[in-house]
């Protein structure tokens, strides 16, 4: 039942495996009975009935992906720390707060050999946790047009600008687990332009008192940032 950027799904048939497969915010949930419950999303331009269908289809087909591990990653910190480099850290920290505590994370991937005409979906997968373990924090993924930054040199002061359009957002909560963001549009646009090295950034879109920790490629867990490419 779509109205503008608002959609409600009530009493889906049989298995009831509907999902909001986009950047929509879930604003209400309930049992699918009488009075009918709902899965409801609002205020996101990408929220469409087609996205609901795609979510079901992807679950049924159990897509397989090619994994591309990050070739560089680092976080940057603002304020008094804006000239420092954290490229050798085993964690990528992100937080939105006052200048001294603000942190963003950057990562870069080499997709040489991928054909944009054959790709149907690209996911950014991160092993992430909220430091306190008690809250759910929204994290957004952005494309980064400038890929010339280097892991051992990037700082808040010289960080490359983000693309103006957020690729996708989702909450991160609890202890370390795998979380994914849809970055298909950005990766395809880069590949179509002939750029096989792709850069992304993650950050918290609103202020909070929590730090989100992401395993960097240097982490002993061996679960650094990766792009999952489906063709």
Do 157 and 194 fall within a single domain?
Answer: yes
Give the global pTM: 0.73
Do 99 and 203 fall within a single domain?
Answer: yes
Cβ-based neighbour number of residue 2 at 10 Å: 13
What's the domain count of the chain? 2
CATH number of residue 207's parent domain = 2.60.120
Q: Residue 194: which domain range? A: 66-230
pLDDT in tens, the chain (231 residues): 444 444 555 444 444 444 444 444 444 444 434 334 444 444 444 444 444 444 444 444 555 789 999 999 999 999 999 999 999 999 999 999 999 999 999 999 999 999 999 999 999 999 999 987 778 899 999 999 999 999 999 999 999 999 999 999 999 988 888 999 999 999 999 999 999 999 999 999 999 889 999 999 999 888 899 999 997
Is residue 210 within 8 Å of 102, Cβ to Cβ?
Answer: no
Is residue 111 within 8 Å of 227, Cβ to Cβ?
Answer: yes
Q: Of 61, 96, 111, which residue constitutes the final position of a domain? A: 61
Do 51 and 115 fall within a single domain?
Answer: no
Do 32 and 130 fall within a single domain?
Answer: no
């Amino acid at each position: 039942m779509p109205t503008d950027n608002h959609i409600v799904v009530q009493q889906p048939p049989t298995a009831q495996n509907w999902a909001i497969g986009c950047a929509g915010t879930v604003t209400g949930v309930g049992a699918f009975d009488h009075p009918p419950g709902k899965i409801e999303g609002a205020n996101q331009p990408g929220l469409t009935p087609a996205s609901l269908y795609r979510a079901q289809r992807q679950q049924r087909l159990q897509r397989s992906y090619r994994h591309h591990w990050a070739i560089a990653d680092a976080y940057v910190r603002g304020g008094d720390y804006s000239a420092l480099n954290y490229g050798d850290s085993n964690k990528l920290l992100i937080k939105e707060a006052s200048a001294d505590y603000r942190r963003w994370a950057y990562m870069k991937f080499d997709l040489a050999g991928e054909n944009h005409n054959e790709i149907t979906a690209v996911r950014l997968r991160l092993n992430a946790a909220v430091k306190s373990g008690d809250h759910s924090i929204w994290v957004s993924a952005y494309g980064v047009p400038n890929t010339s930054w280097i892991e051992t040199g990037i700082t808040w002061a010289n960080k490359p600008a983000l693309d103006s359009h957020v690729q996708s957002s989702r909450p991160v909560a609890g202890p370390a687990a795998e979380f994914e963001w849809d970055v298909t549009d950005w990766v395809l646009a880069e590949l179509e332009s002939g750029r096989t090295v792709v850069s992304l950034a993650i950050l918290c879109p609103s202020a909070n008192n929590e730090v989100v920790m992401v395993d960097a490629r240097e982490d002993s867990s061996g679960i650094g940032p990766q792009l999952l490419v489906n063709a």
